Amino acid sequence: MTNTTENNKQVDLNKIKEAVTMILEAVGEDPNREGLLDTPNRVAKMYGEMFAGLHTDAREYFETVFHEGHDEVVLVKDIPFFSMCEHHLVPFYGKAHVAYIPQDGVVAGLSKLARTVDTVARRPQLQERITAEVAEVLQEKLNPKGVYVLLEAEHMCMTMRGIKKPGAKTITSVAKGIFETDDVKRSEILSFIQMS
Ligand SMILES: [Zn+2]
């Protein structure tokens, strides 16, 4: 992983185009028919966007932090995210809830939590790993008293293929620090997440 924020710079769009043309040929399509002419190009651009997180380190977002004297929980919930399952390269998507309890009043801009989810999700991923990586970035950059990350998602690889279970939700969570050791704090954050 590199430190550039220039997304797409390291995604080889031409190579994706060639690969998409080959897939179309391989499934028995004619890549030269009118409707498909620009498809390899469109897919290449889309993949460039969907995998841009491979070339961005979310830790950069926390280079500026604030000392606010706020020592209670900070929760950003219902952050929509889209990712691509690394086993099938089909989407999984849902909501992320990210919470931490600052240490010595060190807080980050709220949008940084959402950007972290976005960046980590825009890679070939597993839901479990997004959850763990987001928690890890916060732990490392803010050194908070605790971090709690919960993701709920629907996986197209369970919906449109295989066992075909539309609507099935997968929940993953990671608790660090006080959220790991203190049951009261953990149930408090869960009730905040469930509150509408
Ligand atoms: Zn999958």
Q: Please report which confidence band the pLDDT of residue 166 belongs to, taking 50, 70 and 90 as the band edges.
A: confident
| Span between the terminal Cα atoms of the chain, in Å | 37
Q: Which 8-state DSSP code applies to residue 57?
A: -
Tell me how far apart the alpha carbons of residues 99 and 172 are, in angstroms, rounded to a whole number.
14
Reply yes or no on whether 136 is catalytic.
no
User: Annotated catalytic residue: which of 6, 68, 87, 140?
Assistant: 87
Average pLDDT over residues 138-149: 97
Reduced to 3 states, what is the DSSP secondary structure of residue 164? Answer: coil
Average pLDDT, the chain: 93
- State residue 63 phi and psi, 5-degree precision: -70, -30
| pTM of the predicted model as reported, rounded to 2 decimal places | 0.91
pLDDT higher than threshold 70 for residue 125: yes
Indicate the pLDDT class of residue 9, thresholds 50, 70 and 90. Answer: low
- 139 catalytic? Reply is no
pLDDT at 69: 84
- Calculate the alpha carbon distances from 132 to 38, 136, 137 in Å: 38, 6, 9
Using pLDDT thresholds of 50, 70 and 90, give the confidence band for residue 4. very low
DSSP state of 168: -
Q: How far is the CA of 32 from the centre of ligand 1 (A)?
A: 30
Closest CA to 146 of 172, 185, 173: 185
Ligand 1 center from residue 92 Cα (angstroms): 8
127 belongs to the catalytic site: yes
Give 76's Cβ-side CA count (13 Å radius): 17
Tell me: the pLDDT tens digits for 58-85? 999 999 999 988 889 999 999 999 999 9
The overall longest dimension of the chain from CA atoms, in Å, is 63
